[in-house]
Structure 1
């Protein structure tokens, strides 16, 4: 069973009521000592000086482990409860929700809001369906509500998944510029809703999109020999969160940390298990 703030038992330390004046003084003192939480929905800031030092967790499967020693958590906004995000925020964690902006799963709660004319070919191995990203007026309200869900649960950033349909067999004649325009529009939409935008994958467009995004997430750039394509982010002092699914950390960390990335080893299922690289 997942644990949250509501699962913690109350501890009553005094049997007698305290004088009203003393009670007020204690409450003020406790409030003053408690670390101030970022309000739900406030965008995450990414200080340049910390870009190379973040520890992060990416969990989309299994029971959430809130005790992972990481400052940044990337989570599913539907499966993650408000109680869980509240507990993580009480630990001063930075919360990122992952949203598929260029595809839809038939089982998504809002799948019926995507009309047939914007649905294309199925994505390989995922069961998702590519969307026609040229149809901004159709897609915008659905994405806006997905982002509002993130904000309402206390996330401060959003990671864009499937932001590269132009480079896949989407079923639509999408080109580089169609995707570039769409990704920039979605980043602007996220900012308008007080969410910091992050880019997952789409390496071919990183040089063009890095100014529009606050951070990036990458899968297996060491194994694929593609880490140099993420330099527009690190050169700008923006964090790159990187994961490898095979190999020992002693093999890939020296490369990824050398590029300035925050790197971990994960199972492909993205459950709670992780092995982090040491920060520089």
Structure 2
């Protein structure tokens, strides 16, 4: 009975939150600047772009055409170029992320959580419909500077979802595929990078619980040029659970996109 009660409370709290369904059209553009303005002329149900780069004009224009706006920020790393970078304490900042000019942060820190709340509040003030918190799988990365592990990551990710829903914001689970069984009911959709390249493509199949709940799963596969190879295009059908939407992006994540046919 207690489980049913808690489930009913959870459903009630998320009734007003945007839940994209499998097959929803998704546009992801994190590179937004003077040289790469936000492009929303294509048909998409939801547009996902950087929280700080999106302008009120961008958001209003997307809403005017019936689209939803998802605002991206990192919930698991420190980037010195972010406007709120000064709010982090030195004790919050850990090891450098491999391949990126960012650093893992201590997700058990009360100060880190305070910063994330401010980011969600900013998303709400800007009229974002949801958020895409990145780097929520620090427990996988051998972040030796901090002692947090699998359970700490679960607690933090569920906390992010609860705080997003408290603000009527939709929230997507970014990667963290190994915790899907424990997290799929807390998140409204999922975004995966390169599951076709991981574990022989079997990582894609881990997203079935989201699809079973009628929640969209978006898969991004990276390419080095706009001319896709036959190997690239084979990802549109290989290791592809029914309902997953795959698209191809250049590594700098500009507005260019190739959607798999019939998805």
TM (norm. structure 1) is 0.79
Deviation by residue 1:28-70 (Cα, 9 ceiling, x = unmatched): xxxxxxxxxxxxxx964226xxx22211110011221110221
Work out which of the two has the higher radius of gyration on C-alpha atoms and give 1 or 2: 1
Alignment of 1:76-225 (within 5 A): 76-135=50-109, 137-170=110-143, 171-224=145-198, 225=201
Q: What is the CA distance between 1:278 and its match in structure 2?
A: 3.0
Q: What is the CA distance between 1:100 and its match in structure 2?
A: 0.6
Q: Which residue, 235, 243, 251 being the options, matches 1:260?
A: 243
SS of the equivalent of 2:235 reads helix
Counterpart residue number, 1:275: 258
8 Å Cα contact 1:122/1:128 also seen in 2: yes
SS of the equivalent of 1:264 reads strand
Q: What is the CA distance between 1:154 and its match in structure 2?
A: 1.8
Q: RMSD of the TM alignment (CA)?
A: 1.8
SS of the equivalent of 1:254 reads coil
8 Å Cα contact 1:43/1:156 also seen in 2: no
Q: What is the CA distance between 1:153 and its match in structure 2?
A: 1.6
Q: 1:264 to 1:44 in 2, by over 3 A?
A: farther
CA–CA distance in 2 between the matches of 1:256 and 1:113?
42
8 Å Cα contact 1:55/1:276 also seen in 2: no
Counterpart residue number, 2:10: none
Q: What 5-or-longer segments of structure 1 have no aligned partner?
A: 1-41
Alignment of 1:227-246 (within 5 A): 227-246=204-223
